[in-house]
Structure formats: C-alpha cells, structure tokens
Structure 1
Amino acid sequence: MPPTRETGAHAARQILSAEERYADELAFLAAYDDGPRPPRWALTPRAVVTFICGSGGEALKLPKPHETLPERMTIPVKFVGERALVERCVVTLAGERGLLLVGEPGTAKSMVSELLAAAVCGTSALTVQGTAGTTEDAFRYGWNYALLLAQGPTPQALVDSPVLTAMRTGRAARVEEITRCLPEVQDALVSILSDRRVSIPELNGGEDGQGSVAAVPGFTVIATANLRDRGVSEMSAALKRRFNFETIHPIADAAAETELVRRQATAAVERAGAGYSVDDSVLDALVTVFRDLREGRSAEGWDVERPGTVMSTAEAVQVTASLGLAAAYLSAGDVLDLVPGHLLGVVRKDDPADHGRLLGYWDGPVRRRAQDGSALWRRLWDLRETLS
C-alpha cells in the first residue's frame, strides 16, 4: 500500500517545540506561582527558573484546585548546569536587556535559549538562524513583492521579521549562531537594541507617524554564539555592549552527564520506534572516552592529547542513540564492538590528524585500564585494530 501524507492536527512531527512539549508544565507553573511578572511574561521569573532547573524532586502543589490541571506536579530538570547561571539569564531578560549565550558546540546553548523563550513569552518560534547568507531583512523586515507591485509600499505589503514581530508583541526573539552572520548584518541589531525601534522609510507614516515600529514592553533578544566560530564574523564592540554574556560550560559531573546521555538517547531511539537497550557499562565507558578526550586528561589523571573536534555531550547522545538503533534494527550483537568505529566517525570531522590522536588514546588510557584488569576495557583494547 503506498504511503500517505499525514496532514492537519494529526500529522506526526519529529520534534515538538518546547512550548508544545512541556505545555502541561508551563500551564501548571502559571497557576502555581501567580506572583508579579515583568510585562507580558507568561510565568514569574521564579517559575521560569523552576521550569528549566526543576523542582528538586519536590511535587509542587497548586494553591487552589484547578479544573483541568493536576493538584501536584514534579518539574524535572531540563538543563544540567548551574542554577545561578539560569537565574542570571532570567534577570537579564526581566530587565529587557539582550542575552548572549556562548560556549563550545554541544553545550545546550540553543536548548536553553528555546526553554527561556517558551517560558518567558509562550513561544520559541520567533527565531533567526544565523548563516553567512543571512541578510539584514531577517532582523528588520521584507516585502510581499506581489502586493508591493500592486499597491506600492503599504503596511499590508510589509513582511515582519521574527525580530520585528517580537517588537510588536513584546516577546523574546531568538538569534541562533549570531557570529555566523556577516558583521554588517549583525549591526542591524545595534539600533534595535538601543533605540528599540525599526525605521521603515518606504512608508509615509508609521505607528508613531514617523515610518517606524517601536518595541512594546517585554521585547528582548536571546542570541547564541559558538566559541569555535570566533573570528568567523566577530561581533562589533557596539553590539557586544548591548548584550549580557553568559558562558555555558560542558557538564562537570560525570554521573549527571551519563544520565543526560541515557535519557536523551533513549528518547531518540524510542522516536525511531525501537526500544533502548544499550548496557550501562557500555554507556559509562563511552561517556568516559568523551570526557577524557574533551578535557585532555583521563579520570585517573593521565594526560590525553585532545582532538581538534569537540567531543560534546550532544555527540555522545548521537553515538549512544546509534548504538541503540543498531542493536534494535540490525541485530548488532554486542554494541561494544561498534564503539571504536563510531568514535572514529566523530573525531575525524575536522582534522584527519585526529585519527592518530584517537589511536594514541587507545594506546594510553584504554591499554592501561585493560592492564589493570577491567574486562570491558580489555575488550575495547582488543578492538584497536578496527581503528587502523
């Protein structure tokens, strides 16, 4: 039977937005904490922090019964990192100042940006994806050219950018990978974050009679920048001054990282219609390899030559999910045998010399752990030839 296209409300989607995925939690927190909120915020600042950092295992109770919400709800942790960092981000947004999240690839910058936008203003969809081809229109406005030719420059022919929509509605606009944009495009944000208005000279009049759109209370910008992209399109000093910078570091605790990898890999495998079956010992070894190579030092304190590519938590999730899918769909047997090949695929993304660095890791920590009597690391050592 030929495949059919699902349409409408019943169409399946690979990924839901944060506001859809956590709709129940957001509705519960809105009813749970009815304290003061900045203009147009969906939740109180305290509830935004709880949404992202969790309720610490505590089941929160609504102050009064609600027709559609449960009486109690435990809010799970979504960001594994410093609570103080999240609190600073929330305070920055409450002050309507731009927020710039920086860090190595795979440290959950985009996830934090999405969670903040969903909790603060109910939507994470007002997003500009920064690339070398992004134009100034993505931050300002464009035109419906059919209407433009038929009517001339009218408000009806104007096409708002996500940033302009956020300004009109008092919401948070997201700019992903801002340093991938050309400097002259980035600088379109300088006047937006300073004057809080966008000039539209093509129109004779405007909302203020001067051919411009002014931001309403609540508008702000959340941007992300990859530290590996520094120098690609360096931000101007003027633009930097209009953001508060927050650096998101890799997960410090090995157990917390392992649990995060397990949880996200399990979700990825289940989305593909299979059951997660990667053994905990294999997962522990995989996360250990990623952490050793990322930090340039093993858990035992042995020096390790770091590869040029970033051994991020996000990459560890992808490898673990791949192992789970191989076990489910390809009868892969012991997925430990697949670990070296997947690791090689990760480290060779940027620099061919990283192949040699991975071999050096095998000849160092992997061999020494095998000699210390670990059966699992002995088996990994025996698989060294698959890296050659």
Structure 2
Amino acid sequence: MENTDIEILYNTFYRKLAKVSLKYVRYLYEKINWNVCLIGIKGARGVGKTTMLLQRIKQTSPDGSNAFYVSLDDLWFKTHSLAELVEYLYTHGVTHLYLDEVHRYPDWTRNLKNINDNYPDLNVVYTGSSMLEIDNSKVDLSRRQTVYEMSGFSFREYLAFEEAIQIAPLSLEKLLNQHVTLSMEITSSIKILPWFERYLQYGYYPFYKESMEDYPIRLQEVASLIIDTDLPAVEDIEYSTVQKAKKMLMILAGRVPFTPNISQLCKELETTREVGLKMLYALDRAGLLNLLTTEVKNYKTLSKPEKIYLNNTNLMYALTSRVDKGNLRETFFFNQINSIYPTYMPPKGDFLIDNTYLFEVGGKGKTFDQIKDVPNSYLAIDDVEYGHKNRIPLWMFGLLY
C-alpha cells in the first residue's frame, strides 16, 4: 500500500485530534487499564466513546506519531481492508491503534483476533455498540481482552462538565449512611435542584452542548440511527423488523413505565412473541429502553420483563409529548443506579438494588406504607435538598459514577 492510499485517513485523524479538548475527561477514563494489549469499550451511540479515544491519544501522543485512530465505518474500507491498514501502520512505527465503530466492519471479531495473534506487541483499543455480545461471538475474544462499558453522563459528571461543582463519586453505602452530611456540604455552595431539573431534560448525552435548541431532534436522530444501522450490524434481522423496532420504541415511549402485555404488544406490531421479545431486549442492549426484571437478564432465554422504561430522562423529553413526573423520577433512579449496581423488580416497592436494598421513589409526600417493616428499605425523594434517616434526596443517586 502506498503512502497516498492512507493519506486521507491521516488527514481525518489529525483533524479530529486537533479539535478534541482535554478540559473534561469521562469517569471511565481512569478506570481503564490502558496497558492491556486489547481493550474493548462498549456503549450506546452518543455517550462519548470516540472523544475518549482521541483524548487518550492527545494525552499520550500529542502529535499522533506512534498512534492512529480510524473509524471502521469509513468509506475507505470499501476498497481497502483492515488487515492491510494494520500491516502498513505497524511497519511504519505505530504502536497504539484505536478502532472506532468495530461493529460496522464485516467479521470484526476474527479480524481483531488475527491482529492480536499477528502483532502481539501492538496495543489495540476499540469501541463498539452497547449491543455487542462479545463473549458469544463466533470467535471468542473474552480471554484476550478487557471490556468496559460506558454510560451517559451521570448527574455528578454533568455538574462537573458545566463547571458548577466538583464532587467525587460516591459508593452506595456511603450515600445511604452519610447523605445528610454530604447534601449539606454540596448545597452550601450550589442551588442543586435547578441544576437537577436541567440535567433531567438535556444532561445525559455529552453532545447536548453543541446545540441546546436542536438537542431533542438530535436525540430522535440518534435513536433512529441506532435502529437503522447498529441493530442490523449486530443482529441478523430483516428490513421489516427494523421498522417494527422503531414502531415498538414509539409505542412504548408513549406508555412508559409500562407493565407489558406481550401478546397485545406483538399484536399491534403484527409480529410473533419470539420476535417481539427479541426486539425488546435488543432495544434494551442498544441503550434505548431499560427493562426491569426479577432476576439477571438472560439475552439467550428471553423472558417477559416486569416493567419497561425508556433508558434515560433525556429520551423521555425527546420522544414523548407529555412527561409524567412519577415516570421521570423512576426513570432517573433506575438509569443511574443500574449503571453501577444490579437492579431488579422486588415483590414490594419499586426497585431492589444488589439484592439487598429496597427502594420506593416518589415526591415529598411519599411514605413508607408500601415497604414498612422491610429491612434495608429506603425512600428516594424528589424536590428536596436534604433527607432524613432513610429518606434520601433523589438527586443524590446521580452521584454514584
């Protein structure tokens, strides 16, 4: 391959690298062991995976001399292969390769395995859709790599991104035991509730900063793009199923939180129960829905979820014309907690965290009536700055990552 063949990719790489800022780095950055030879980063579209790759390059190789970034959905790959690109880069001194959008490249798992086999001293970091089931792929990469998953902004990250206040992430145990002291420290320097209201509407995806006015439209486009491009790239589905998945998302957006009648839902979509459940779980893995179940989700044996939510509150404002306050509260709580701790549907109450802590979510008037006498039970209360004993402000559950 000639230098001129790859020049266009270098131009794209340098242009992106020049624009990326190091002013704010996501929570996941410090958790990644960058010394591992093969690193995977999964996450929903729009949460900031590409930016983090470029930030890593800018911090470790500011001039890009021994690093290279490329997105595998680039049209360049219509006439060239990843194998010939890697051979060229390796023989020209590149030691760190960053591959974006791997799920858009045919037989990507086998290609990564071959790179790992043939260039064992080449460090490779790749990003892909949150839908990737890496351990179940035809070529097992699980023993070769470390995989991380990136969520959207937590409320804590949003506050830092907006330069409102810097708060260290809290463990759930520290939050439960010290929430009164912590809330007093935080609210002594910031009016927290107005910031929380803004976050619920437009703070989850980092790209909200690019244009506040267009943000809801951009979110609609992201949701559509996930279903149109990411879903077919990961799942073997027909065009008609893609269209039904879009219809399912919009039906559910108008009904969440939804206790599903799968038979009725599938009837509306004119599809079978098996295909309907497959679409539900695909939308969950894609970061568009959040399925609440009584046990660990099994994406091989698909069972009916107990309750269906949109993944985050920003999607609620983008996809629905009327946002219900109670739904907004539960969606926020589920989204933030479930990013860190396994969360299930309990016999009593709203959410069971880590099979230990039982929560009810509500407004100021919420009482313990529904979960009284249950050990380790708590209330997550909206519209309050401070809590008391087992009554904890809802906004504080956004400080966990």
Same fold (TM over 0.5): no
Instruction: Tell me the TM-score normalised to structure 2 length.
Output: 0.40
Structure whose alpha-carbon radius of gyration is higher: 1
Instruction: Tell me the TM-score normalised to structure 1 length.
Output: 0.41
